Every structure is written in C-alpha cells, then in structure tokens.
Chains A and B, each alone.
Chain A
Amino acid sequence: MLAFAIRRLVQAIGVMLVVALISFVMFRFVGDPVNQLVGVDTSPEDRAALREALGLNDPVLLQFGRFILRAAQLDFGISYQFKQPVAALIASRLPATLELSLVSAVLALAVGVPMGVFTGLYPRSWVSRAFLAVSLVGVSLPTFLIGILLIFLVSVNLGWLPSFGRGTVVDIGFGWTTGLLTASGLQSLILPAITLGLFQMTLIMRLVRGEMLEVLRTDYIKFARARGLSRRAINFGHALRNTLVPVITITGLQLGSIIAFAIITETVFQWPGMGLMFLQAVQSVDIPIMAAYLLLIAFLFVTINFIVDLLYVAVDPRIRLGGARG
C-alpha cells in the first residue's frame, strides 16, 4: 500500500511539471498581453517599456524557471487586468466554484443512483423507459443551451428564481463565503447546479443501471435468492455494493471535470467562480491567471485520481490482497 502510494505521488509530480511546461509554452502564442493592459492611445515606446518591465523579452527558459520557482511558493504573480495577487484572486473565487460543483455532484448522485437502481431493477416498467428517454436530454443538449433554456423558462417567464449571480453570501471564516445560509443564495444555486449536474446525473444513472443489470444476473445473486435473503438485502446489501466500484471511479473523475469545466455554466449564470475568471483571463490574455488556473486544475485531477485509487483499494478487497502478494 505504501509503495503504491509513493509510486502514485512521484507520477503526480511528473504530471504537474509537464502541465506547467505545456501551459507555459502555449501562452507564448495567445496574443499580446501588453495590448490588453494599455489604452488605445498609448505610444509604442511606452508599450515597449512595459514589455521590458514585465520580463516578456527574457529567454523562455528563464521565464519558465522563474515561474516554477514562484509557483512552488504559491506565488503566481500579479494578474495583469485585476492588479491583485493571483493566489488571492483564486482563493477568493474558489468557494463559489467548489460550492457549485459539490452541490451539483451531490445532486447528480442523489438523483442518479436511485434512478439507476430503479431502472436496473425494473427495466421493463414504463417509468424506467420514461426516465431513460428524458435522461437523453441530459447527455445530448450542450450545457450552455440547458442553462439558457432554464433561465428563460424559470427566471424570465415564471420569475421563480434569479437569472444570474450568487445572491447574498455569508463569510464564515477562513475566507470561505457560502450561499447556503441565505434564501437568495440557495435560490441562486438551484439552476446552475441542475445545469452543471444534469450530464453527471445521466451518466451515473446509466452506469448504475448497467452495472445493476449485470450483477443481478450473476451466480452469487442467484444463490443469495436461493438462500432466501430478503429483496432489500440482495439488492442493496450485495448488488449495489458491487456496482459501486466503477461508480466511484467515474464519479471521482467526473467531479474533477465538474470543477474544471464549470466554465460554461459559470459564464451563462455569471457565477463568480474560478471558471468565469479563467474565461475573462483568456479574453484579456491575462497570462498569470491562465497559468495558475491550469496548474490548479492539474493538481485537482491528480489529487482526485489519487484519492479514487486509494478508495478503490479500500472498497475492493481483491485489489488489496492482490497487491500485497505482488
């Protein structure tokens, strides 16, 4: 187990370094940050001076080395457009994205798993067929379309929920702001969470359904039924437990995706999270924010994968025993 963990850790660091190199090199070609920093009337001499001052004329390797050194100390520089330290900006926007992602993930699980179980147990019932048909909407419509549709249906036409923003947020210490404690915050959370979670919900539902159908046909389930165990014990105690391993893996990976790619949902709902900030950074060629964001996302994926691998080992005894022997 320890050797396994250490191997994974070394691989993680390797991945981080490669991501840092790729993102750094890529940003040489995204446009001229100086043009975004100054007004239209600024003279060419002043622009050249600014390039020099920002260190944009130094050799690429030197800039990269500087970048890695500072990143290790969590110093990602100053944002070109906001004029604030990038680390502080990300920290201030992180709660919004994490809250949205976690609520979406919980929603996706809370709806997806029961629906999956139901459609797995009663595959021929008309309710199951209806669920499956509707769930196609979740996978086939793009996220921004779902978001805009929800806004127009619920906010503009029915006026039930706010159309953008996070509502009133409460600062609960450690720099974490939450919208879960206010009415307007909760209301603002509903539509974005549905938009973001719909795809995951469908995915989880179909995955659980597929796994359930497969597991229910296995011999040990037949024998459990023969032994006279209750339906609940069989379905949830044995069948569901065994479907969880792939579900955990996929959910874990999807959670990383949700956090990283909440960009679209955040843009549609003007949700003040990291994704929206990243998009604004791309449009203004705000290189410090872009680089820091990519590194953060790489770190997130690597960490989540690591945890998922450990959970995998914990949940499935066969892997643990197999590893010890090998």
Chain B
Amino acid sequence: MIARIRTNGLAMSGRKALLAATAGLLLATAAQAETLRFAFQGTLNALDPYTLNETFSLGMFGNVYEGLTKRDKNLQIIPGLAESWEMVDPLTWRFNLRKGVKFSNGNDFTASDVVFSAERVRDASSDLKTRIPADSVWTAIDDHTVEVKLTSPNPILHYEWDTWYMMDKEWAEAEGATKPISAKDTNPGPAAFKTNGTGPFVIESHEPGVKTVFKPNAGWWGTPEHNLTEVVFTPIAADGTRVAALLAGDVDLIDPVPVQDIPRVNADPNTEAMTGPELRVIHLGFNQMDDELATSDVKGKNPFRDPNVRKALYQAIDIEAIKERVMRGLSTPVPLLIANELFSGAKDFQRWPYDPEAAKKLLADAGYPDGFTVGMDCPNDRYVNDEAICQATVSMLARIGVKVNLNAQPKAQYFAKVLAPGGYDTDFFLLGWTPGSFDSWNVLVNLAGCRDTTGKGGPFNLGGYCNKDLDALSAKIVVESDTAKREAMIKEAYTIMTQETSHIPLHQQSLAWGKRKNVEIVQRPDNQVLFYWAKVN
C-alpha cells in the first residue's frame, strides 16, 4: 500500500514535472528566435555615424543610435532623446533630455554627451557638419538640460536631427574616437567598427561588405514594437541574385526590387512587393550661366537663357508617357522640385501642360524655328531608370526639333563632370534631389540659389540659374519663425521658379521593397530601413 502510494506520489510529481516541462517547451517555442534577414544593394562600411551623409547608412545607424528628435511613421517630428524643447527666444533654444537613458555599454546619457556630440559633428572630418549651425554655442545647464545659443534665428534648427546621433563622450575618449573617421585617416582605429548607442539594437558583429548582425539592446529605454531577436544584414549587389534570394527564402526583406521584377515578386505566393512614393524628385536642368553653350550649334547666345525656350522644352515632355512606359506606373509627376509630402502648398501648383505644338510655336517665336542641338548629361546607375528617362526625353525633344546628344555615364564619372570639381561642365542634365531637412529652404538654396563658378551659394544648382528676388526670399525664409508667413514666402518663391521655368521637374520616383508575406515593416518615403517597427510572424 505504502509502496503504491509512494509510487503514486512519484508518478504525481513525475506528471507535474512533465507538465512543467511541456509548458516550458511551449513557452520556449512561443518565444523562439525571430530573425530578420535583410539584403540591400549597397554596403555598410565604417560604423562612425558622422562619416558619411548617406540615407542608407544613416538609416541603419538609426537602429543603434538615436538623436535628440526622431520622426514617426509619417515623418512627423517626435521627441527622441530630448523629451521636450522650447524656443526661449529666437536665438535661444532649450532641450530637456530624457532621464534614465543608458548607452549600450552601461554609461549614462547626460547633457555632457550632447555637448560633446555637437562639437564632434562640427569637426573638420565630419560629413554631417551642416546638421547644426557652425557658430552655435552649446552648454549643459544641468545633467538633463542643454541650451543652444544661435547667432541668427533658425526655426528649422532641429529638422535634420533624426539622423544626427548622440554619442557617448566617455566611450569616444576611451576608444580614441573623439574625431570622426575621415578618408585621410591613415589609422582609422577600432572605433570605425564598433558602436555604442542608446538605440533599440546593438551591432554584434560587422564584416564590411559581407555581413552585419544586429541584436536587441536589452537596456533600451523604450518599449519594443518589434518581435525580433536578431537582424542579419547582407549586401547583395546583383539585382537578379537579390530577387532570387527573396524568392528562394534565403532572405526576408530586400531593397530595392527592380521595377521589372515587381510582378514576379507579387506573383509568388510567399512574397510581395511594397511600393510607395519616395521623397526624391527627379528633374532636368539648363545651363543658364554661360554666354554660349559648348555642346550646342547655336553660336553667340545661350538659348536656355530665354524662359520661353525652357518652357517649350518643358511642354514637349509627356510625363504621363514616362510614368507609364519608363517607370511602369511607379512614379508621381510633380509640379515643383520638392515632394508633395513635404510642402502642403504643392497642391496649388500645376505642371505646364504637355503640348508639343505649343512648344514648337514657342521655339519659333523665340527665334529657333528649326530647333537646335544640345548635349545632355545623365547618370545611368544612380536613380531609378535614369538612363531610360533621359532616352525618352531625347526622343520627345526631337519631335519639336531639338536634337539632343545624350551622354549617359556611371555616377562616379557623371558627378565628377557636372559638380563643382568638374567645373559644372554640362548644358542640359538630369538630377535627383531629396532635401535632407525635409524642408523647402534646402531646395531653394541648393538647387536654385545664385552661385559662383566654385559653387558657393547654390552647390547643386548645376545650371547656374539665378534670380536675385528668389535669393532675397530665401534669406528671409531661413530666419522666419512664424509658420504661416514662412509657408507663404516659400509659395512665393516656388511661384517665381515655376513662372520662369527655372527647371523641368519630372517626378517623385517610387520605392520598391520586396518582403516575404510573414514580415511586417513600415516603409517611409525617406527609404530608411528601421527594424524597430518590424515583425516576423
């Protein structure tokens, strides 16, 4: 009897143990490793967040580091490491920092780290110098308050801070990383391959050009909206291989998917393509600076100085045909040089209508009844279908008598020719632009500001378009704190540009990511891949 009871007792505890073990196993499988395998066409190189002002790397670092502000899923500015901020007066800003935040190595995040980061980002070897005004003065009022003093008002001071990341002063000093890595470093040091951020992930291992592994940061201050235990990033340069890897199930997310492969990715039952407008606007520009165009048969004058000639070329371009045939429906024609999402007043502007007959008449009235020849420069591996867009433009302009000689090159050679180091050597060109601050002033200055031959004043105004009234407006816009007044001035500036056809805006290109159906991720128009909103089901 006793033996039986004891056996029963053992059996009871045995059964309990079995139950516990099963429950444990169930829990374990419920909390199994969720790995996101992501492939991009480019590589991640040095891990210093101030070395390269490039969307992709900054986006990757945005998983590991954080800035004082962040942008949410709709690109609106939200508090980041700064919980709140205020403009005490137009020249003084005060930021109240989040408390209890730690870097991944355990150090506390305090105001001294912010002041250090502000100095480091303005160092000569940093590529993100323009994130804060060069002459701003940063002081730590106490451990969690920072004051910034400016020499002139700047209402959009913090607009680009979602990609300006806070670094740990003590860690940087210990690692010898107080200066950002730059190309001329003969000994970049270990800090090029180590990170220490406050963000939701840490980089566990990094082989540049091969593989980078991210793991969740256990000590992160926020609440994870993801369910990932690991993210593995591998670059896959060849388009076909990247798509094949997605279809074969070797990766879960790829960026970009070439437009011609989107139907294939959608047709597969396990994968789908995510498309949406990107913030980048593709446009054509004219050389308006030189007295004579080097590549044209028109001698003694520059046809592009006449706004009617520019308007004629604009009206010869059938943007809907480009959208349907060249971009396969994946583009958004725009009237301005900025994305519709970034300027609310864009809806009040229209493109000049497509009208080849009117274009020919304009040309004849301007003194070119038989048209003219001109050379065109175009990159062939920088933007989506860039060369194809240029070729379509060439055939459309031929119809109104303008014969274009196209020179399409890889971006390394293209930019060497058309930017300042090449002497802005172009008469007619294609260019894409995203304003880093997501604000119009960046566009008005960089693309349309009067410049000299070295580029000062309008570094990406390749054609040298210049309107003094526009420049005066831009100078007022940058210091205007009243939002309504500012928007009105921006609208006025764009009106000046569109009325005299300073450029030919074409379209916003589209983003195309490919993912397996069990992956959920947020795609923002700025094309940053942020894992902290991703789920693998």
Contact = CB atoms under 8 A, between A and B. Distances in A.
Interface of A: 30-32, 34-44, 46-51, 53-54, 78, 80-84, 92, 148, 151-152, 155-156, 159, 162-165, 267-270, 272, 276-277, 279-280, 283-285
Contacts of B129: 46
A151 B246 CA distance: 12
Contacts of B235: 270
B241 A270 contact: yes
B471 interface: no
Contact of B245 (A83, A163, A277): A163
Nearest to A154: B248
Nearest to B58: A39
Contact of A31 (B186, B234, B416): B416
B421 A35 contact: yes
Contacts of B249: 159
Nearest to B268: A156
B422 to A, nearest CB: 7
Contacts of A165: 234, 250
A35 B419 contact: yes
Nearest to A277: B209
Nearest to A285: B412
Interface in B381-431: 381, 410, 412-413, 415-416, 419-422
Given A32-B412, A35-B415, A44 B456 contact: yes
B241 A31 contact: no
B87 interface: no
Contact of B240 (A39, A48, A81, A268): A268
B241 A151 contact: yes
Given A32-B412, A32-B422, A284-B412, A80 B236 contact: no
A31 B410 contact: yes
Nearest to A279: B237
B256 to A, nearest CB: 16
A89 to B, nearest CB: 8
B54 interface: yes
A46 B183 CA distance: 12
Contacts of A267: 237-238, 241
B43 A156 contact: no
B130 interface: yes
A30 B417 CA distance: 11
A83 B43 contact: no
Interface stretch (B45-53, B64-72, B479-487): B45-53
Given A41-B436, A283-B412, A285-B412, A270 B244 contact: no
A168 B536 CA distance: 23
A108 to B, nearest CB: 23
Contacts of B130: 41
Contact of B416 (A35, A41, A83, A156): A35
A40 B250 contact: no
B185 A83 contact: yes
B23 interface: no
A259 B420 CA distance: 39
B455 interface: yes
Contacts of A40: 53, 436, 460
Contacts of B54: 39
A181 B247 CA distance: 27
Given A31-B413, A39-B127, A270-B236, A83 B188 contact: yes
A163 B247 CA distance: 10
A78 B185 contact: yes
21 contacts: A31-B412, A34-B421, A35-B419, A37-B183, A39-B54, A39-B127, A40-B436, A44-B421, A46-B129, A47-B420, A47-B421, A48-B421, A80-B183, A81-B45, A82-B45, A83-B181, A83-B192, A84-B188, A156-B248, A162-B250, A164-B241
Interface string B163-188: 00000000000000000011111101
Interface of B: 43, 45-46, 51-54, 124, 127-130, 181-186, 188, 192, 207-210, 234-238, 240-241, 244-245, 247-250, 381, 410, 412-413, 415-416, 419-422, 436, 446, 454-456, 459-460
Given A39-B127, A41-B130, A43-B459, 8 more contacts: A31-B410, A47-B421, A148-B241, A151-B248, A155-B250, A163-B241, A163-B248, A279-B237
A160 B459 CA distance: 52
Nearest to A39: B53
Contacts of B446: 41
Contacts of A49: 124
Contact of A164 (B183, B236, B422): B236
Contacts of A163: 241, 244-245, 248, 250
A37 B185 CA distance: 13
B268 to A, nearest CB: 9
Contacts of B420: 44, 47
A54 B183 contact: yes
Which of B52, B240, B412 has the most chain A CB within a 10 Å cutoff? B412
A151 B207 CA distance: 25
Q: Which 8 A-B pairs have CB atoms at the shortest separation, nearest pair first? A: A39-B53, A31-B412, A32-B416, A53-B184, A44-B455, A83-B46, A44-B420, A155-B248
B203 to A, nearest CB: 16
A44 B454 contact: yes
A269 B446 CA distance: 40
A156 B248 CA distance: 4
Contacts of A162: 248, 250
A280 B459 contact: no
Given A50-B183, A280-B209, A42 B53 contact: yes
A44 B421 CA distance: 8
B407 to A, nearest CB: 14
Nearest to B127: A39
B421 A32 contact: yes
Nearest to A35: B415
Contacts of B455: 43-44
B237 A280 contact: yes
B412 A36 contact: yes
Contacts of B240: 148, 151, 268
A62 B188 CA distance: 25
A69 to B, nearest CB: 15
B159 to A, nearest CB: 13
A83 B127 CA distance: 15
A156 B265 CA distance: 12
Contact of B244 (A84, A151, A283): A151
Nearest to A162: B250
B53 A38 contact: yes
A279 B381 CA distance: 14
A218 B130 CA distance: 80
Which of B52, B54, B183, B250 has the most chain A CB within a 10 Å cutoff? B183
B393 to A, nearest CB: 23
B208 A84 contact: yes
A280 B240 CA distance: 17
Contacts of A44: 420-421, 454-456, 459
A37 B52 CA distance: 7
Contacts of B208: 82, 84
A131 to B, nearest CB: 29
